[in-house]
Amino acid sequence: MPIEVRGDSAANLTMPVAPVRGGVAAGAAASARASLTLTHVAASRAALEAALPEPAPAEPPTPAPPASDALPTDDALHAPVPIAPAQLHLANVGAGVVDVDLHVDETGEVGEVRVAFSSGAAALVPAAIDAASAMRFHPATRRGKSVAVWCRQRFVIDP
């Protein structure tokens, strides 16, 4: 059924819609009827413009960076990533948590290890220090270059 809708009139337009049963429109004897009513309200251009917020001024486009064959870099510091899981060697010392701060140099080697937190048996601390000292990392990076950083490693011991 073709429908003509006029946006500049203030008239109501009612269109009858016949119920459909089994893919075929029901006849005049159908017990249900439906209708669709469209209402259009005319408004002056001045009233519409007064209701709209002022558009934000367009910002000039950001110039594209110069083309380069180098890998993309940014100013963010990317943390070191362990190459393999740490190997913690314990002999029935119980459960606990040990947090250690590691100094990872530009090559990914662990230099200094400091205990930041420990709970549980005292024997967990030297085991965590030994495991942290033996860890190897892909080094941290900033602007595409390897940098030395301090990072924290947590050892959770739950036998």
pTM > 0.85: yes or no: no
Radius of gyration of the chain measured on its C-alpha atoms? 36
| Per-residue pLDDT tens listing for the chain (159 residues) | 455 545 544 444 444 444 455 554 444 444 444 444 444 445 556 665 666 667 677 776 666 655 545 455 678 899 999 998 888 877 777 789 999 999 999 999 999 999 999 997 888 899 899 999 999 999 999 988 999 999 999 988 877
Neighbours of 53 (CB within 10 A): 5
Residue for token digits 């595409």?
144
> What domains are there in the chain, each with its CATH number?
12-50 (no CATH), 78-157 (3.30.2420.10)
